[in-house]
A = this chain, B = another copy of it.
Amino acid sequence: MFEFKITHQDKNSKARTGIFKTPHGKIFTPVFMPVGTKATVKTLSSEDLGELNSEIILANTYHLYLRPGEKLIKKFGGLHKWMNWKKPILTDSGGFQVFSLALEKGNTKFKTSVKITEEGVHFKSHLDGKTHYLTPQKAIQIEHDLGADIIMAFDECSPANSSKKYFKEAMQRTHDWAIKCLKEHKKLSKKQKTKQALFGIVQGGMYKDLRIQSAKFMDNIDFEGNAIGGLSVGESKEKMLKMIEAVIPCLSEKKPRYLMGVGTPEDLFNAIEHGIDMFDCVHPTRMARHGSFFTNEGRFSIRNKKFKFDKNSLQKNCKCLACKSYSRSYIRHLIFEEEILGLRLITIHNLHFLLNLMSEIRTHIKKGDFKKFKTNFLKKCATTNGKK
């Protein structure tokens, strides 16, 4: 059912194009996956996502487990039917949210709201403080109920200020859990005759040796793909790239490589150059809701006074709905008036911009001038690099 085929390998870098076949269609890599945390990419309908030619979207196990509950979604025949999205879906395992939502309350509360054992994690819901217990097995059971095409193993994402000793322990737990996830996945797939691809997640913090150890471990397991977790969590871009560089040689070329939580143009270019195939990030949709939009000349805030009388579209010659129909002046008015249409229009534009960029990157990898394209794009666009 699942098959990853590399269709082109860049000669000047590790960049590559590929096709990943899933039960709900092909994914052309490198691919960016818009994030639909609660089974909706914020402000957009499935029809909007279809018009954007989004090939795959992501949904969050943690949020859907808490509300409305995976059993409800299972009753509807899974996420695809429930949210009326016919193309591929990826669900994360909930691991990242369990830890990051606890962390958001401040590190002092970390130990009280998340209790980790070798078997799993007791945590308090960010919604109502109720205690829940997630194990690798339980996470996989939930993901099977949700029914995404690609599901993620349950991992521990440690706080950035943890010691190396702690990172190592957490990594080893993540490895143990990976084995448990795979076992549960195989059992459920056989029993329920479901077709889902399970990916492992490389951890190890900002420690090269741990990252290498983790990558070798994960690659050795019978997963359909490898993900890199715990990056883009506040470290410098140089450090992130160093970790990617360390990890990539340990990950099979034949499996798709997914860098979790990354989505600024500069980061995408750099990671693709190092051989990453898949990405997800709330960045383009979240920045849209703050009124920021991508252009070829960088990133701008529509709130800037200079756009008040601007008759141009967000980006000249852009083919998205927002740019075909509306001026910067009008969209600025919508954002100032807190009109929902403004949020939707910039979301559409930002996703179009990023998905279109990925499509262009694939084209240039095939053409053999990926690095030239990267240099030119980033030169024009000095401010697009994740500046907030």
Using an 8 Å CB-CB cutoff, how does the interface string of A308-325 with B read, 1 for contact, 0 for none? Answer: 110100000000010001
Using an 8 Å CB-CB cutoff, how does the interface string of A346-365 with B read, 1 for contact, 0 for none? Answer: 00000000000000000000
Q: Are B344 and A309 in contact (CB under 8 A)?
A: no
Number of copies: 2
Taking CB atoms and an 8 Å cut-off, the chain A residues in 232-274 that contact chain B are none
Asked if A40 lies at the interface with its beta carbon under 8 angstroms from chain B, I say: yes
Q: How large is the interface on A (under 10, 10 to 19, 20 to 34, 35 or more residues)?
A: 35 or more
Q: Are B321 and A42 in contact (CB under 8 A)?
A: no
- CB-CB < 8 A to A46: which residues of B? 325
Q: Are A68 and B308 in contact (CB under 8 A)?
A: yes
Q: Are A44 and B341 in contact (CB under 8 A)?
A: yes
Q: Are A340 and B337 in contact (CB under 8 A)?
A: no
Name which of A76-84, A116-124, A211-219, A223-231 contacts chain B.
A76-84
A344 to B40, alpha carbons, bound, how many Å? 13
- CB-CB < 8 A to A344: which residues of B? 45, 340, 344
Q: Are B340 and A343 in contact (CB under 8 A)?
A: yes
Q: Are B330 and A82 in contact (CB under 8 A)?
A: yes
Asked if A39 lies at the interface with its beta carbon under 8 angstroms from chain B, I say: yes
Asked if A334 lies at the interface with its beta carbon under 8 angstroms from chain B, I say: yes
Asked if A67 lies at the interface with its beta carbon under 8 angstroms from chain B, I say: yes
CB of A39, distance to nearest CB on chain B (Å): 7
- CB-CB < 8 A to A311: which residues of B? 76
Asked if A14 lies at the interface with its beta carbon under 8 angstroms from chain B, I say: no
A345 to B75, alpha carbons, bound, how many Å? 22
CB of A146, distance to nearest CB on chain B (Å): 13
Asked if A326 lies at the interface with its beta carbon under 8 angstroms from chain B, I say: yes
Asked if A72 lies at the interface with its beta carbon under 8 angstroms from chain B, I say: yes
Taking CB atoms and an 8 Å cut-off, the chain A residues in 27-74 that contact chain B are 38-40, 42-47, 67-68, 72
Kindly report which residue of chain B lies nearest to residue A325, judged by CB atoms. B84
Q: Are A340 and B339 in contact (CB under 8 A)?
A: no
Asked if A327 lies at the interface with its beta carbon under 8 angstroms from chain B, I say: yes
Q: Are A333 and B47 in contact (CB under 8 A)?
A: no
Q: Are A339 and B72 in contact (CB under 8 A)?
A: no
Asked if A166 lies at the interface with its beta carbon under 8 angstroms from chain B, I say: no
Picked from B84, B308, B334, the residue with its CB within 8 Å of the CB of A40 is B334
Assess A325 versus B45: contact at CB under 8 Å? Given A309-B75, A333-B38, A341-B40.
yes
Kindly report which residue of chain B lies nearest to residue A330, judged by CB atoms. B82
Kindly report which residue of chain B lies nearest to residue A41, judged by CB atoms. B341
Asked if A336 lies at the interface with its beta carbon under 8 angstroms from chain B, I say: yes
- CB-CB < 8 A to A339: which residues of B? 38, 40, 42
Q: A68-B333, A68-B336, A82-B329 are in contact. List 11 more A-B contacts (CB 8 A).
A: A38-B334, A39-B330, A40-B334, A43-B340, A45-B325, A47-B321, A72-B309, A72-B329, A82-B330, A84-B330, A340-B343
Residues of chain A at the chain B interface (Cβ within 8 Å): 38-40, 42-47, 67-68, 72, 75-76, 82-84, 308-309, 311, 321, 325-327, 329-330, 333-334, 336-337, 339-341, 343-345
24 A-B contacts, Cβ less than 8 Å apart? A38-B333, A39-B330, A39-B333, A40-B337, A40-B339, A42-B340, A43-B340, A44-B341, A45-B321, A45-B325, A45-B341, A45-B344, A46-B325, A47-B321, A47-B325, A68-B329, A68-B333, A68-B336, A72-B308, A76-B311, A76-B327, A76-B330, A82-B327, A340-B344
